[in-house]
Amino acid sequence: MSYQPGRHFLQIPGPTNVPDRILRAIDNPTIDHRSADAAGLARFCLDGMKTVFKTRGEVVIFPASGTGAWEAALVNTLSPGDKAVAFDTGHFASLWSKMAANLGLEVDLIPGDWRRGVNLAALGARLEDDRQHEIKAVMVVHNETSTGVKNNIAAVRKAMDAAHHPALLLVDTISSLASMDYRHDEWGVDVTVAGSQKGLMLPPGLSFNAIGERAIAASKTSLLPKSYWRWDEMLEINRKGYFPYTPSTNLLYGLREALRMLLEDEGLDAVFERHDRHAEATRRAVAAWGLEVFALDPAGYSSSLTAVLLPAGSNEADLREVILRNFNMSLGSGLSKVAGKVFRIGHLGNFNDLMLAGTLCGVEMGLELAGVPHRKGGVSAALDYLTAQAVAVSGAHR
């Protein structure tokens, strides 16, 4: 594409815009990963990530994309032939279940229509029927990035407890952590999986497991082959701030800066409130355009992205291409089952009201240019909401 001045709008639901502060932190000389400075950096990051996951348990950091941390969660806790329950709630949920099958697990994939969250009644029935406790894990994606549907993890835990079932609860928070409220310990999660390139505002390249006590216990007997992903060797050497192999030192500089921004400068509650507000403003724009939010249940609305269903006869790939060419903005594509039908607006990470306003302007102009049937006024509806929220916070019109 020819040169386009100004800043590219990266409004896919991750990777997200990396703040200049973080880019500058990454742009430090690489240090000796066996030095005392590196150990201090690693300990700061590991402790900070515990706060982000809301856990008193263990956290490990892999130099890998989120898919690596998916694999680590499975290979450290399970054995060949173990049964796992997963849910066909979207592209990423189905990819994770495919990985489990590739690794030699027997996956029971509970069907779904992708517009709603996990089927808790079906989960409860599966667990009640499993009197021999052959099911060893339940795998859930907290925020399905392909559909913009959030799952209620506390409710999943409740269904498992109601069935008195000992399966481990494994949760993917790759597009929710540090954007949407998440509580590893309080919600009784055994392993949480996360990645660096979304709410944590970093480039891709780091991924995480938060590990509860029951998962640590399971890792002592788990027989799936593992080496790079082994928790035991990682945890032992992490205690001193080191890694069993070369860590991504410069991404850890970036992570330290991200943790300062999230935990010290803004505060997690304010971060979540900001994401909720931008998601609501986006949904108001979608409604005013006369388009449909793909998620059907308001309790399942994602705060990190909004997936929008286009009317029959319009194609999301054409719309996104027009927007990229004319306005230098990338939006999320429709993935697998919803390709062509759904586009996704990412509003997570380092993001503010005016960035959202610019994003929605680009979408509204693109709808017009691409000939997608819609009404005007989406941007105005979003701005009215953002203005009212600002008035509510500052007390009065000034």
Min dist CB 322 to ligand PLP, Å, is 24
Three-state secondary-structure class, residue 331: strand
Binding segment for ligand PLP among 47-55, 169-177, 248-256, 269-277 (CB under 6 A)? Answer: 169-177
Q: Which is nearer to ligand PLP, 92 or 114 (CB)?
A: 92
CA–CA dist 206, 163 (Å, integer): 36
Three-state secondary-structure class, residue 293: strand
Q: Which is nearer to ligand PLP, 146 or 314 (CB)?
A: 146
Q: Cα dist. 348→13, 89, 219, 355 in Å?
A: 7, 21, 33, 11
82 belongs to the binding site for ligand PLP (CB under 6 A) = no
Residue nearest to ligand PLP (CB): 66
| Axis-axis angle for helices 120-129, 153-162 (nearest 10) | 30
Min dist CB 349 to ligand PLP, Å, is 13
174 belongs to the binding site for ligand PLP (CB under 6 A) = yes
Min dist CB 218 to ligand PLP, Å, is 22
**β pairing state of 143-144 and 149-150:** antiparallel
Q: Which is nearer to ligand PLP, 248 or 314 (CB)?
A: 248
> Contact letters (x/-) for ligand PLP, 41-80, by CB under 6 A?
------------------------xxx-------------
Q: Which is nearer to ligand PLP, 99 or 367 (CB)?
A: 99
195 belongs to the binding site for ligand PLP (CB under 6 A) = yes
Nearest to 93 by CA among 82, 103, 85: 85
> Contact letters (x/-) for ligand PLP, 296-335, by CB under 6 A?
----------------------------------------
Among 82, 172, 190, 316, binds ligand PLP (CB under 6 A): 172
- Residue ranges of the alpha helices (H) in the chain? 20-26, 36-53, 66-77, 91-102, 120-129, 153-162, 213-219, 231-238, 249-259, 268-289, 316-327, 353-369, 378-394
Binding segment for ligand PLP among 19-27, 41-49, 172-180, 341-349 (CB under 6 A)? Answer: 172-180
Q: Are 241 and 43 in contact (CB under 8 A)?
A: yes
201 belongs to the binding site for ligand PLP (CB under 6 A) = no
Among 9, 53, 92, 114, binds ligand PLP (CB under 6 A): 92
CA–CA dist 348, 357 (Å, integer): 14
Backbone angles phi, psi at 252, to 5 degrees: -70, -35
Count of residues making up the chain: 398
Residues 121-150 binding ligand PLP (CB under 6 A) are: 141, 145
Tokens standing for residue 379: 């941007």
Among 16, 151, 175, 209, binds ligand PLP (CB under 6 A): 175
Residue 332, strand partner residues:
344
Min dist CB 350 to ligand PLP, Å, is 17
Q: Which is nearer to ligand PLP, 195 or 199 (CB)?
A: 195
Q: Are 93 and 86 in contact (CB under 8 A)?
A: yes
The site for ligand PLP (CB under 6 A) is made up of 14, 65-67, 92, 141, 145, 172, 174-175, 195, 204
